[in-house]
Amino acid sequence: MRPSGRAANDLRTVRFTADFTRHAEGSVLAEFGDTRVLCTASVERRVPPWMRGQGSGWVTGEYGMLPRSTHTRSGREAARGKQSGRTQEIQRLIGRSLRAATDLEALGERTVTLDCDVLQADGGTRTAAISGAFVALSIAMKRLCATRELKRNPLHGQIAAVSVGIFDGTPVLDLDYAEDSSAETDMNVVMNEAGHFIEVQGTAEGHAFSRAEFATLLDLATDGVSTIMALQNAVLESV
Amino acid sequence: MRPSGRAANDLRTVRFTADFTRHAEGSVLAEFGDTRVLCTASVERRVPPWMRGQGSGWVTGEYGMLPRSTHTRSGREAARGKQSGRTQEIQRLIGRSLRAATDLEALGERTVTLDCDVLQADGGTRTAAISGAFVALSIAMKRLCATRELKRNPLHGQIAAVSVGIFDGTPVLDLDYAEDSSAETDMNVVMNEAGHFIEVQGTAEGHAFSRAEFATLLDLATDGVSTIMALQNAVLESV
Amino acid sequence: MRPSGRAANDLRTVRFTADFTRHAEGSVLAEFGDTRVLCTASVERRVPPWMRGQGSGWVTGEYGMLPRSTHTRSGREAARGKQSGRTQEIQRLIGRSLRAATDLEALGERTVTLDCDVLQADGGTRTAAISGAFVALSIAMKRLCATRELKRNPLHGQIAAVSVGIFDGTPVLDLDYAEDSSAETDMNVVMNEAGHFIEVQGTAEGHAFSRAEFATLLDLATDGVSTIMALQNAVLESV
Amino acid sequence: MRPSGRAANDLRTVRFTADFTRHAEGSVLAEFGDTRVLCTASVERRVPPWMRGQGSGWVTGEYGMLPRSTHTRSGREAARGKQSGRTQEIQRLIGRSLRAATDLEALGERTVTLDCDVLQADGGTRTAAISGAFVALSIAMKRLCATRELKRNPLHGQIAAVSVGIFDGTPVLDLDYAEDSSAETDMNVVMNEAGHFIEVQGTAEGHAFSRAEFATLLDLATDGVSTIMALQNAVLESV
Amino acid sequence: MRPSGRAANDLRTVRFTADFTRHAEGSVLAEFGDTRVLCTASVERRVPPWMRGQGSGWVTGEYGMLPRSTHTRSGREAARGKQSGRTQEIQRLIGRSLRAATDLEALGERTVTLDCDVLQADGGTRTAAISGAFVALSIAMKRLCATRELKRNPLHGQIAAVSVGIFDGTPVLDLDYAEDSSAETDMNVVMNEAGHFIEVQGTAEGHAFSRAEFATLLDLATDGVSTIMALQNAVLESV
Amino acid sequence: MRPSGRAANDLRTVRFTADFTRHAEGSVLAEFGDTRVLCTASVERRVPPWMRGQGSGWVTGEYGMLPRSTHTRSGREAARGKQSGRTQEIQRLIGRSLRAATDLEALGERTVTLDCDVLQADGGTRTAAISGAFVALSIAMKRLCATRELKRNPLHGQIAAVSVGIFDGTPVLDLDYAEDSSAETDMNVVMNEAGHFIEVQGTAEGHAFSRAEFATLLDLATDGVSTIMALQNAVLESV
C-alpha cells in the first residue's frame, strides 16, 4: 500500500501551467502532485566560447531549490558559494536530455538556458524539471518561429521524464517524498516520443535490483511518460 | 505623467497571499504590481555560534532573484559562486528591518530565516520583500504561539516598506521598473506602525535632492506604508 | 554628555594630509580624531569591459580595514577569501558618491580607483573615507590637467560626508566608536557643495526615529559637512 | 569492427596490482587496457560530523585525473579551485557503489576513503575505479581483521563495474577512448556477486536506445562483470 | 654604480617608529628608505585547533600590500578572493622567522599574529616586514610581562632580515626597487643575534651564482643585519 | 647514525624511468628511495595572456600530492578548493628552476607545463620533482626537435636538485622522511651543470645554522647533484 493510496502504476496529478511568469521566452509551472518546479527558457544570441563561430547553438540546464522548498530548510547554495554535487548532476542531466531533442544547427548561434527552480519539493523534482523544461523550450521555439527569428523549429522530438522505484518490495511509478526517502531502488527515466531511452539512472539503496525488477520498472516508466506527453501536448496546443 | 498612468501618490496593486507554499512555518507571496516575491519564514532551534548559550534568538534575511525573474536573464549566483554586493546589501537590510520589530529574548534560542526569493521583478523588490517578510514572520510566530512552542509572541511592532523617488522631476510613490531605471533619486523607506523610521536609504542618481524634496518623499512614503500595513493586517486576520 | 566631552554639534579634529604616499596620482591621509584612513586615487587607461568603446570613464571605490585597525583583531578578508557584506556596501557607497561629482565623459576612457584603507578605526570610517577620497580624486584630476593629459577637470562638484546619530537620547554629530557602538540611530550623510543630498543611510538600532529627530540629524549633518568642505578646500589649495 | 580489433563481448586486459604504494591500508593499481587508476583505501578513526556518536562508519570515494593522464592536458582541479560536475558525479557513484557492499555498523566509527586517481586514461576510468576500489577496500578490511582492529569483516558482498555502449550500431563491452568518444550510447553498470544491479547509468549520445538494445547491453555487462570478479578474487587470494 | 648612489655595502636609511597605531599590543612602522611597512603584533588568548590543550602558544605572520603601495596599482587580494602564491610564501617566512626566536611554551595558550601591511613599496618589503615584526613582537611581549600577564618573556633571541643581490655584476646590500627589478640574483637572509642563519632564500634570475659570489652575499648580509639589530635595540630601549 | 644506515654523504637509490605514461610529450617517474614522483611535460601552442604576441614561450610547474601518498591521508586540494601555501611555493620553485635552463625565445609561443605529482612520499619530494621535471622537459624538447616542430633545442643547461640538512647535529645528504621530520635545518639546493646555484632555500628548524655548517651543506649538495646529473644523462641517452 502506497502512503498516498495510489495504485502502483498511478501518476500523481500532473499539471503544466504556461506563462507562469512573463519575462522569459518560455515559462511553465510544472506540478507533479505537491512538487512544483518553475521552468523558464531564456534565449540569448551568444554561445559558450568553445562554440563560437561554428553557426551552431547550445541548450543548457540550471537547477536550484528555494531554501524552504523542502521539509526542513536547506542552506542557500549562493550563500555557501558553491553548487552541490547533486545540483550539478541534475543540471547536466537536464541539459543532456533537452539537447537530445534539439537540432543545434537549426538553432543558430543562440543559447537556450532552461532554469528549473523548485518552489516546493515532494519527490521527483528532477523529472518534473525535465518534463516542464521541454514545455518551456517548446513555447520559446514556437514563438521564435512565429516572429521569424527562426526559420524552422529546432525541436525534432519530444522529451518527458518520470521516476520509478521499488517501495516496500513493489515496483511503483512516480515516487513522492514519503516513498522516495525510504525506497529500496530509485530510477529516473528520460524517454522520447518513440518510447526509446534518452537517460536511465538507477540506484539501489539498500537492496540490489534483479533483471526482472528492472524490466517491470521500465514498463511502469514507459506508461507514465506516455501520459505525461499527452499532458505536455495539451498545454502546447493551448499557447 | 508616470508610464503606468498612476498618480504620484498611487501604489500599485499590492497583494499578500498567505500559505503560498506548504513546508515553511510562514509563507507569503507578496505582489506589488508585477513584482512577485515569495517570502518564507523558517524557524530552527539553534542560533549562530556567537549567540549560543545566551537564551536569546536571531532573525535573519536572505534574498535571491531567480535568473529569469528579470527582463534579461542574469547569471545564477550559486553558479557564479558568490552573492553580489547588491544581494548582500538587501539581505542585511531585510534582517535589520525585521529584527527591529522582534523581541529576540522572547524568541528563545531559535533562528528565524526570512527567505525572500523574487519570482518576477518589476521594480521595488526589496521593499516588497520586507513587507512580505513581515507577514511571513507574523504567521510563523502566531503558529508557534498556537502550539505553545512560544509562550508569548516575540513581535512587538509592525514593519512595512516602500520605495519613493524623483521621476521626471516629480516625487512619486512605489516606482516600477520603467520609473526606477530612469529615476533621478531613489529612496527605500522602512517604517513601523507608529510612523517612525527604521531604515532610510536614499541615493541620488544624476541629481542631488534638496531638503524640500526630501520632505515630500518622506510624506509619500508615510502614506504608502500606512496603506500597505492595512493590507498586511487584513491577510493576517484571515490566517 | 558625550564620552569625549564634545558638544552635540562638535566635529572631532579633522585633518587631511596630502601626498601621504608617493606612487598614487592622488594620496591623502584623512583623520577624523583617531580614525585614520589612507585614500589613494589611481588612474588607469582602461575601463571595465561593459563600458569599452563608449569614450566615457569610470570612478570606483574599494575599502579595507587593516586587521588590527580595530580594538580587537578582525580576520584579514584576503585570507578568508571574500569581502564581507559590510565592506561591499561601503565600497559601493564610496563609488556612487564620488561619481556624483564627476563628469565621466570628460574623464575619457580611464578608470579612477579610490582605495580607502583604514589604518586605525575609531568610528565613522566610511564617511572619513568618502571625504578623503574626494581630496585624493581632486589632486589626481588637478595633476592630470596640469600635465595636459586631461583637457578639462572632470570634477563638477564637491563631496563630503559625515555621520550623525542619536546617542543617549540626543542627536549628535560625528560619532566616535564609544558612541557608535551604543547609538540608537546611526545615519551617514553624503552631501554636495550646494547643501543637497547625494546619499542618506539611516538605521535605527533599538529605537525608531521620528520625523522631528530626522530633521535635527539632517541639520547637524549639514553643518558638519560645511566645516569639512572648508578643510578639504584648504588642503587642495596647498597642493 | 572495433578500433582495437576486439570482439563485441571482449574485455580489454584487466589487471589488479596489489600494494602498488605502501602507506595506505589498501592500495591497488587497476588497469583496463591502457586505463590505469591508482585506488587506495585509507582508514581513519572518525566519521563525518552528522554521523558522530551513532557507532556506525562511513565509506566515501574521491576521484581525480592527473592533468596529463589525458590525450591533451586538462587543467588541474586544485588550481581551478573546484571539482567539475563530472568529478563530483563520479565520486558520488564510487561512494554509493562501495557502501552497497559494506555493513557500516560492523565498521564502527571509522571512515574509509577510497581515493581513485587516474594515472593514464583510455576510456572507462570510472568503472575501473570502482572495480579497483573494491579490491583496495577488501585488502584494508582484511588487514584490519588480521590485526583484530575489527572483529568481523564489514564487507558482505562483492562489487565490480564495467562500461557498455553502442558503437557504430553494435552493442559492445568495455569501451576504450576511441570508441567512447564516438559512441551513440554509453552505459556504466555496477553489479554485485549475485548478478544484481547496484547502479545503472545510461546516456544516449545522438541516438536514443530501444528496449531491445538495452537488454543486449545488460547481457554484455553481466558477462563482463563476472570475468572482472574472478580477477578481483584472484588478486585478493594472493595478499 | 647603484641607481641611488649608495656604496655596495650601504643600507638605506632604516627607521623603526614604535606605537604608530594605538590598538595593537605592539605596533611599529618599519622604513627601509621609501619602503614603509606597518607591523602590528596582536595577542589573542586562543591557539589554532590543532594546538589546543597543550599549554603552548603560536606565532604567525600575515602580509599584505595596499593596492597602490606599488608603482602601478595591483588588484586587491580580498577582492580577487585569494592571496597570491607570493603573499603566502612571505607570510610563511615571517611566521617561521619569528617563531625561531620565541619560546612557545612560555607564551602559554596564546596566538600572536604579526600583521605586516605594506603602505609603500620600494623593494625589500619582506625583509623590512620581518625586521619590523620583531620590534612589534618585542613591544607586545614586554607589555604582557609588565602587566604580569606573562611571567617571563618568551623571546629568547633577536631576529632581523635584509636582502642582498647581484646587481650589474656586483654583490650589493639592501636592494631598492630599481635594483631589485633588474637584479641577476636576489637573496633574502634572516639571521639571529649570534650571526647564525634562520632562513636563506636565494634565487638566480638570469645568471646562476657561484660559490664565491654566495660567500660575498652572506658577508654583506651579516654586516647589514648587525646594523639593523642596533637600530631595533635603540627603539626597543625607548618604549 | 642515520635511520636508514646511510653514510652522511650517501644518496638514496635514485632512478628515472622514462615514458612512464604515454600521452605526455615527456613523461618520467623519478624515484629517490621510496619517494616517487610522476613528472610530465605537456607542450601547448599558446602562452599566458600577458606574453601573447611577443614570440616567446613559457615554462611553468604544477605540483600535487595524491591524498594517500603520505603516511596519514591529507585532504585533496581540489576538494578543499584551494592549493596550500606549501604547494604554491613548490610550484613556483619548479617553474623558476626549469626556466633557468631554457631559452624561452627558442621555444616560440608555446607553454610547457611540468606536472609533478607525488605518488608516494618519503621526504625530498620537491627536489625529486625538479630533477625529474628536467628529464621530462628534455625528452619533450628532444622529440619536438626530432619532428622539426622546433628548429633548435631551447635547453641550454642542465638542472638537478637535492636536499641537505642537519640531522642529529650532523650535516647529511638527501634526507628521507624519518630524518626530515626531525631535522634541525633543512635546505633545498638547485644547481646547474657548472656547479652554480639556481636556488637555495635553507630553513632552520629549532637551531640556527652557522657559516661553517652552511659550507658543509653546500659541499654535500654539490656532490649529490653531480651524481644525480649523471643518472639524468644516462636515461636521456636511452630515449
Residues of chain A with pLDDT under 70: none
Contact A64 B42 (CB under 8 A): no
Distance in Å, alpha carbon of B213 to nearest chain A alpha carbon: 34
CA dist A144 and A157 (Å) reads 17
- F83 to chain D, minimum CA–CA distance in Å? 6
Preferred mutation among E22, E23, E42 to probe C, highest tally of C CBs within 10 A: E23
Taking an 8 Å cut-off on Cβ atoms, the answer to whether D21 and F115 are in contact is no
The shortest CB-CB distance from B192 to any of C86, C194, C208 is to C208
Cα separation, F13 vs E123, in Å, equals 43
Give counts: helices (H), strands (E), chain E.
Answer: 6, 9
Chains with 3+ CB–CB pairs under 8 A to B are A, C
User: pLDDT tens digits for chain C (239 residues)?
Assistant: 899 999 999 999 999 999 999 999 999 999 999 999 999 999 999 999 999 999 999 999 999 999 999 999 999 999 998 999 999 999 999 999 999 999 999 999 999 999 999 999 999 999 999 999 999 999 999 999 999 999 999 999 999 999 999 999 999 999 999 999 989 999 999 999 999 999 999 999 878 999 999 999 999 999 999 999 999 999 999 98
Q: Do F120 and D82 touch (CB under 8 A)?
A: no
Please indicate whether, in this complex, the C-beta atoms of E67 and C115 are within 8 angstroms of each other. Answer: yes
* Residue ranges covered by each domain of chain F: 14-237
Question: 3-state DSSP call for residue F66?
Answer: coil
Let me know if F165 is exposed, middle or buried by CB neighbors in 10 A (0-12, 13-18, 19+).
buried
Quick check: E191 and F208 CB within 8 A? yes
Contact (Cβ atoms closer than 8 angstroms) between residue E188 and residue E199 = yes
β-pairing verdict for E58-65 and E111-120: parallel
- Check if the beta carbon of residue D13 is closer than 8 Å to that of residue D78: no
Instruction: Give just the sign of the alpha carbon dihedral E26, E31, E32, E37.
Output: positive
Q: Do A66 and B40 touch (CB under 8 A)?
A: yes
Contact flag A91-D85 (C-beta cutoff 8 Å): yes
**Whether C78 and E82 lie within 8 Å, measured CB to CB:** yes
- Residue D1 neighbours by CB distance under 10 Å: 9
First-to-last alpha carbon distance for chain F, in angstroms, is 39
Give the mean pLDDT of E50-56: 93
Report helix angle F85-99 to E85-99, nearest 10: 110
Rounded CA gap, E98 and E158, in Å? 9
Rounded distance between C-alpha atoms, residue D123 and residue E216, angstroms: 57
pLDDT for residue E71 is more than 90: yes
DSSP code, position F102: B
The whole-number pLDDT of residue F103 equals 97
The per-residue DSSP string of C94-113 comes to HHHHHHTTB-HHHH-S-EEE
Dist. CA C230–CA C196, nearest whole Å = 16
Helix (H, G, I), strand (E, B) or coil at B181: coil
Q: Which residue of A has its CA nearest to D190?
A: A203
Q: d(Cα C94, Cα E75) in Å, to the nearest integer?
A: 17
3-state secondary structure A2-18: CCCCCCCCCCCCEEEEE
Per DSSP, the residues of chain C read: --TT---TT----EEEEETSSSSSSEEEEEEETTEEEEEEEEEES---GGGTTSS--EEEEEEEE-TTSSSS----HHHHTS--HHHHHHHHHHHHHHHTTB-HHHH-S-EEEEEEEEEE-SS-HHHHHHHHHHHHHHHHHHHHHHTTSSSS--B-S-EEEEEEEEETTEEEES--HHHHTT-SEEEEEEEETTS-EEEEEEEESSS-B-HHHHHHHHHHHHHHHHHHHHHHHHHHHH-
Top residue of E73, E114, E118, E139 to mutate, by most chain C CBs within 10 Å, is E73
Tell me the CA distances in angstroms from B43 to B22, B91, B114, one per residue in order.
14, 17, 9
Handedness of CA C223, C225, C231, C234 (dihedral sign): negative
Q: Which of B98, B107, B103, B113 is nearest to B199 (CA)?
A: B98
pLDDT recorded at residue E205: 82
d(CA E101, CA E41): 15
Percent of chain D's residues with pLDDT above 90:
95
Cα–Cα distance measured from residue A180 to residue F58, given in angstroms and rounded to the nearest whole number: 54
F86 known member of a binding site: yes
Contact D132, D35 (CB under 8 A): no
Interface contacts (A, D; CB < 8 Å): 82
Residues β-bridged to residue F163: F188
- Site from A36, A37, A68 to mutate, B interface, most B CB atoms within 10 angstroms: A68
Angle, vertex CA E15, rays to CA E14 and CA E18, nearest 5: 155
F69 in helix, strand or coil? coil
Name the superfamily (CATH) of residues E14-237.
Answer: GHMP Kinase, N-terminal domain (3.30.230.70)
Number of CB pairs, chain D paired with chain F, less than 8 A apart = 98
pLDDT at C206: 79
For every residue of B132-175, DSSP letters joined together read: HHHHHHHHHHHHHHHTTSSSS--B-S-EEEEEEEEETTEEEES-
C-alpha cell, C104 = 565621466
Q: Write down the pLDDT at residue A228.
A: 98
Do the Cβ atoms of F115 and D81 come within 8 Å? no
pLDDT tens per residue across all 239 residues of chain F: 899 999 999 999 999 999 999 999 999 999 999 999 999 999 999 999 999 999 999 999 999 999 999 999 999 999 998 999 999 999 999 999 999 999 999 999 999 999 999 999 999 999 999 999 999 999 999 999 999 999 999 999 999 999 999 999 999 999 999 999 989 999 999 999 999 999 999 999 878 999 999 999 999 999 999 999 999 999 999 98
Of D38, D79, D120, the CB nearest to F119: D38
Q: Per-residue pLDDT for D144 more than 90?
A: yes
- Report the residue of D73, D111, D122 to disrupt the F interface, i.e. the one with the largest count of F CBs within 10 Å: D73
The answer to whether D214 contacts A202, with C-beta atoms less than 8 Å apart, is no
- Contacting residues of D for F42, CB less than 8 Å apart: 67-68, 73
Q: What is the pLDDT of residue D94?
A: 98
Pairs across A and B, CB distance < 8 A: 97
Q: What is the mean pLDDT of chain E?
A: 96
Cell 659541499 locates to F219
User: How buried is D160 (Cβ within 10 angstroms: 0-12 exposed, 13-18 middle, 19+ buried)?
Assistant: buried
Distance of CA F35 to the CA centre of its chain: 12
Indicate if the pLDDT at residue B207 is higher than 90: no
Helices and strands counted in chain D (H then E): 6, 9
DSSP secondary structure string for all residues of C38-63: EEEEEEES---GGGTTSS--EEEEEE
Does the annotation place B76 within a ligand binding site? no
Show residues of chain D in contact with A198, CB under 8 Å. 203-204, 208
Partner residues linked to C115 by β-bridges: C40, C62
Could you list the residues of A known to form a binding site, using ranges: 86, 124-126
Q: What is the pLDDT of residue C207?
A: 86
Which one, of A175, A106, A94, lies nearest residue A136 by Cα? A94
C-alpha cell at E55: 599549554
Distance CA E150, CA E146 (A): 8
